[in-house]
Structure 1
Amino acid sequence: MDELAKQAPPPRIRVLLLDDDHFMLELLTDMLADLGGATDGAPAFEVRTESDARRALAGLAAEAPALLICDLSMPDMDGIEFMQAAAAAGFGGGVMLLSGMDSGVRKAAERLARAHGLNVLGAFKKPISPRELQAALAPLLAPDGPGHENLYNLSPLSGK
């Protein structure tokens, strides 16, 4: 039995990418694939992309991602509204906010998301660099980090 456990690939971290820009979704998916290459070649991330905030919110509980990467500026429901709704729904995974807006807006959105009890890993200017993404995700990628304890959102990372 121990032999099987040693051969099994590590569990993948579920990620929901939410952005109305399809190019940005592809770019982030590729960046996560590049970052997620484990030593055994298995990807570290199971990525779902969504360009519609309402659809993403509807699937949030069922998909139970450990990480949400969300654009702030989207039509119909912006990232701040989405964060409020995700917090109200009890989302306990990590959150990264992305925006092309100025740093004051990003910092305000980050404070607001934290005030709602979300576990915010940071608010970053778009496009985020691979180095920034790797640094922000380091706690989730550590073998004993919260991403591996909370792969399927079984308990909130935010401690609420």
Structure 2
Amino acid sequence: MFTYNLRILLVEDHPFQLMATLCLLNSYGFTQVTTADTADNALQKMNQAHPPFELLLCDQCLPDLTGLKLIGIASLQGLIQQAILLSSLNSHELNTLKKAADEQRLPLLGYLAKPLQKTELINLLAPDPRNR
């Protein structure tokens, strides 16, 4: 099995979704995954990580902060390199979030629907040659 050398922080507040996404990531070859169940917990883990996580993969609808706000804070503090939102919001809402991220110059690669699909994830990561 091919493995990807990418350090990921997965943030998901629903325990089942967290475990399911972690299992999917592992089965896709992403083996360096750290998990968090709140934005606060994620920020603690990001502050302890050296070097910074290469990818923040997070739910948009977290109980303590939106995923987009978490990406903004993490990016401003230099705690992540790139981010992808995971959500079950409709495409219009997600496109609005992507536009807001672009206006704020956040390192948001895009968004993915749940459950996570390998091809869609790889397509978002593809511009980065380290992930091919």
| TM score, norm. by length of structure 1 | 0.69
Query: 2:110 pairs with 110, 114, 122, which one?
Result: 122
> Which of 47, 50, 53 lines up with 1:65 in the alignment?
53
1:10-30 deviations in Å (ceiling 9; x for gaps): 883210000111212112212
Please tell me whether residue 22 in structure 1 is matched to residue 15 in structure 2: yes
Question: Residue type matched to 2:126 in 1?
Answer: A
Amino acid at match of 1:31: L
Q: Counterparts in 2 of 1:72-151, with a 5 A limit?
A: 72-140=60-128, 145-146=129-130
- Does structure 2 conserve the Cα–Cα contact (< 8 Å) formed by 1:87 and 1:117? no
Letter in 1 for 2:73: A
Separation of aligned partners in 2, 1:135 and 1:11: 14
Q: Residues of 1 paired with 2:9 and 2:84: CA distance?
A: 10
> How many Å separate the matches in 2 of 1:84 and 1:119?
9
What SS is found at the alignment partner of 1:75?
Answer: coil
* Runs of 4+ displaced beyond 3 Å: 137-140
Distance 1:104 1:59, change over 3 A: same
RMSD of aligned alpha carbons? 2.3
Which residues of structure 2 form unaligned runs of 5+?
none
TM-score by length of 2: 0.81
